[in-house]
Amino acid sequence: MSHSNSICVAFCFNCPFKYDDLILSEGIVVTRISISIHGEKSQINQAKYRMLCAFHRYKGEVLSRDFLVEYVWGAQNKVLNNVNVTISQLRGLLRHSEIEILTIHGQGYLMLSKD
């Protein structure tokens, strides 16, 4: 499935999955307000949740910076540095887990398991 035409325009308040937890891997669970990594819970903001939602929804696909900007912040937001900051924060949260976010030069980002 190509994600280029599947931007989530409803955002979280209209999302049919808004009450479902995101299971990134065994022991890593994301809710709209937190991430639990093997029992250690951290608060997250809406941008981090939506970015993790995008990676979860399009598991195994490289997501472009433009796609992430639109998916996470909406079509009106064109501040590309938001992606860098949020990716960096998520990498920090996931640093002691089996999940990592890779930069695919010239294409975007890919979340995968280190295993």
* Residue 3 forms part of a structural domain: no
The sign of the CA dihedral 35, 13, 76, 7 is positive
User: Domain tally for the chain?
Assistant: 1
Domain that holds residue 22: 12-113
Put residue 26 in one of left, alpha, beta given phi > 0 → left and psi -120 to 50 → alpha: beta
CA dist 67 and 7 (Å) reads 8
User: Mind spelling out the 3-state secondary structure of 8-25?
Assistant: CCCHHHHCCCCCCCEEEE
Residue 93 scores a pLDDT above 80:
yes
* Residue 85 forms part of a structural domain: yes
Residue 9 scores a pLDDT above 70:
no
Give the domain CATH number at 108: 1.10.10.10
* Residue 87 forms part of a structural domain: yes
Give the alpha-carbon dihedral of 10, 16, 20, 24, to 10 degrees: -60
pLDDT, tens digit (0-9, with 9 covering 90-100), for 34-84: 999 999 999 999 899 989 999 998 999 999 998 898 888 887 766 768 899
* Residue 4 forms part of a structural domain: no
Q: At what angle do helices 81-94 and 46-57 cross, to 10 degrees?
A: 80
* Residue 7 forms part of a structural domain: no
Q: How confident is the model at residue 4 (pLDDT cuts 50, 70, 90)?
A: very low
* Residue 95 forms part of a structural domain: yes
* Residue 107 forms part of a structural domain: yes
